[in-house]
Structure 1
Amino acid sequence: MSVLVVAEHELGALKGATLNAVTAASLCGSDVHVLVAAGDALDAVSAASRIAGVAKVIHAKGAGLEHQLAEDVAAQVAAMAPGYTHVLFPATSHGKNIAPRVAALLDVAQVSEVTRILAPDTFERPIYAGNAVATVQSTDRVKVLTVRTTAFESAGAGLSAAPVEAVAAVQETGLSAFVSAEIAALERPELTAARVIVSGGRAMGSSEKFAAVLAPLADKLGAALGASRAAVDAGYAPNDWQVGQTGKIVAPQLYVACGISGAIQHLAGMKDSKIIVAINKDPEAPIFGVADYGLEADLFVAVPELVEKI
């Protein structure tokens, strides 16, 4: 069975989420193809060809695909999908923007946030903020999946490069147009790719305290900064720091939760972290129920002491 993975790339570089999607795809079928829908993006095409388990890379090159407009990428994927049994996307903002459009164009159901592949037609996905797991069986001729990247290991490098096939891009839909982009320069690792994350909750009290208390710890650990929804809603942290069901799903090697109570929607976004450290002065905080190490203390005292000792 041939399986198509829609690569995610930015500024010509392949994003790590694609490697997780390739691992998932290998569990759906033995012949894994990767689609790079882009302008030039030769670096992304080259990187995709070196992923272990990839049989072929398809480069759809066209001006309408250069800026990854969801309507145009979806049209390209839908045109190619009948030749595959499965079409997989990483369950990122990019994948979630395109996959539903592809499913609608194909008139099939989408299976979202897949965390386990039991068989080529049977999948597990979390529901109720991760408090239950649903087993879903699909009989659609083409199965459109988004896969939770934290549930699958990254595919490694192959011994040789897979062949690259160039295909013509489909006609532009004209439904949207690229106007401009503002690219933020990150001083720390990207949240979803970071090995260490330091997160703060509403107890931080202000954005200034986020910078004064948590930033030094993040700098010492080489960590990304995250936040709970309550902290983001209060204006203490930007939206792209939000971890949780309505934010970003992460699974770093180390997750340090400072002043986070542990609401269900937040736990849904980080409970797969390898090691969870919780610092909270409330001994009844639900975060202690999932933490590997818990420190019942005032974070404004404990965190600076921790920074001094690292």
Structure 2
Amino acid sequence: MSDTPGTERNPAKKPRTRASGKWWTAGGAAAVLGLLLGGVALGWWAANQTLIAGQQNTVESPDAAPVVALDSSMPDVRGLTRDDAAQVLADSGIAASTITFEDAPSGLPEGTVVRQVPVFGTPSPTAIVIGVAVPATMPSLTAADRSEAVATLSDLGVAVTIVFQYDTKAAIGTVLSTSPAAGEPLGDTATVTLATTGSSVALGDLRRLSGNCRTTGEVSLGGTRHPSAVVCSAQAEPSTSVWSIGARGDQFTATAGIDDDATPGTNATVEVLADGQVVDSWQVAFGKPVEISVPVTGVIQLSVRVNSPDDVEVLLAGAAVAGSDEAIAELEQ
């Protein structure tokens, strides 16, 4: 049969085909757009979660990116420049009127933020103080202890290196010197030298050149027990014993007295000589020992001279020569 003029074949089919095409085009576009928007939103969320979870900046890493908190919380701006810190605070929704910048002497580069109040994460801070580095000089730390010196320099943003040096006149563990010296410009590192104990060697273990002194075990002086002593016989005629210390010692120490087993009332005179010259002398008596401490830096021969009208033995308990670790190691060879 021929087609009727003005009509199309299969009139119900083609309209459905065109309608189906329009539905796919609109629905597909909406789906693609939804995926794109979802990806953007997910990326924004992940980026912000990464910022929040990131570690705070430290002054040791001045080039690190700031850690930004959400909801107008306090960001961490330490290590940034003043201008960058101000921008980060503004980006965090914090009003400039709440921010105070102040100078903070520091060994870090000038203009670096070295401290902040309040701390990172504080919600909606109403008063903020930012410390900005200005040039600092080394403070005087002589005689300070280790913890005090380290704390003082750490507060100035300075990394501290500790070294040790033997010194007979300084208290153990106290500061002998600093580099840079007190009053000099301070950088981000410094060296602090602390006094150390050094070493010592028993007098009885050194080479004796002459005399009648000998080493004994435990003794008692004035009621105090001592694990060892050098014993020197004292008579009316002075008796001298000489040891070689080869200019390697700095201090000679001992507790001098008369043994608690001796006759009460006995006494004696004790002298210490350095290279033949009397350095000091002491009177010792039964029940009344004395403490001896004599500088011997540069001394080659150390001598002890004793005499007594009572013909008694003088004890030098704990007698030892102290010096640097290196010097005493050589002396013991």
Give the TM-score normalised by the residue count of structure 2: 0.21
Give the TM-score normalised by the residue count of structure 1: 0.23
**Greater RCO (CA < 8 Å, at least 6 residues apart):** 1
Whichever structure has more helix as a proportion of its residues is 1
Whichever structure has more strand as a proportion of its residues is 2
